[in-house]
Copies of this chain bind each other. A is one copy, B any other.
Amino acid sequence: MQDTFQDLSDLRARLSAAPGPDAQALRAASDRNGQLTKPPGALGRLEDLAIWMGGWQGTDRPRAARPHVVIFAGNHGVTAQGVSAFPAEVTAQMVLNFQAGGAAINQLSRQFGAQMDVYPLDLDRPTADFTQGPAMDEAAFLHALQTGWTAVDPQADLLVTGEMGIGNTTSAAAVALALYGGQADDWVGRGTGVDDAGLALKARVVSEGVARHAGATGLEVLRCLGGRELAGMAGAIARARSLRIPVILDGFICTAAAACLEAETPGALDHCVAGHVSEEPGHARLLAKLGKEPLLRLGLRLGEGSGAALAIGVVQGAVACHSGMATFAEAGVSDG
């Protein structure tokens, strides 16, 4: 029987009671880092990353040998407003592509040795158009969160959550505007490739949606303006926290979903690192709000967890150095 939460108040309680990193392991990993055969600090961010992994995994020898990539797909009622360059049926077509192994995320998962699972979430029942009412009722929202929660392999040593959902940059922009304010223009971008008119339309739709759900906070923002795949990612990220599995955040949509957890419970994303910053302009803003510095800056804007999956390689490099290198004493190298 899967361990899961019963309702939203149970989820909130679990977020509040979630464990932090292991302080003793953090110290031990930091001590080990200081003894490795390199000048102090010479591996730069890789050193911080390995120590952070050690803290969450509760060991001075962290691993990234069993990464798990979980992809959620959902459809969005707001596409009726014409906010995407691609038709909504592409969501289901791409799920078939994921299942057949043909998408970018399949190649990246294989390259970095990750188990990859795909969860299409009621693709034949798009969320409601959020300019008209809440994207999801409580039952649908709870179901998507629970699907995410139970999707995480408890044996994984690293988690990536990804998404597919035509229209979901519009949803993510609405979530970001509701959480952090500003103007809709600050948060909308070209997504899969809308033109200037499409961009203006997205901003208008996002403004309307956020106005419609004014006063929503935390998880309620995710229910009213998000989508099933965003809720799935949030559920998976929350579960990873309860299991102390480190998470690599992907792009704008993943980060918007995650930000609802942070808005609900400050510190809820302490077990998350930003895998990359995407070309979608709202993403850099979101990461700045969350105080997360991206590992990669390569101009990706695909979603699917692709940027985070690419960053698995960086994390694997960091823990390989940290856990595999000889110490000065072991190697008989003079220590400065």
- A residues contacting B by CB (< 8 A) are 36-46, 85-87, 89-90, 93-94, 96-97, 100-104, 106-108, 110-112, 192-193, 279, 295-302, 306, 309-310, 313-314, 316-317, 320-321, 324-326, 330-334, 336
Contacts and interface: CB of A to CB of B under 8 A. Distances in A.
Given A93-B333, A326-B102, A331-B93, A313 B39 contact: no
A104 B37 CA distance: 8
A43 B193 contact: no
Given A44-B298, A110-B320, 19 more contacts: A36-B104, A38-B104, A39-B85, A39-B301, A42-B192, A42-B300, A44-B299, A45-B299, A85-B336, A93-B334, A96-B331, A100-B331, A103-B325, A107-B321, A107-B324, A108-B317, A108-B321, A110-B324, A310-B317
A299 B293 CA distance: 13
Contact of A90 (B108, B279, B310, B334): B334
A336 B42 contact: no
Which of A104, A112, A299, A302 has most chain B Cβ within 10 Å?
A: A104
Nearest to A307: B44
Contacts of A193: 39-41, 336
B37 A94 contact: yes
Contacts of A314: 296, 298, 310, 313
A300 B44 contact: yes
Which of A94, A192, A325 has most chain B Cβ within 10 Å?
A: A325
Given A86-B336, A104-B321, A316-B111, A39 B302 contact: yes
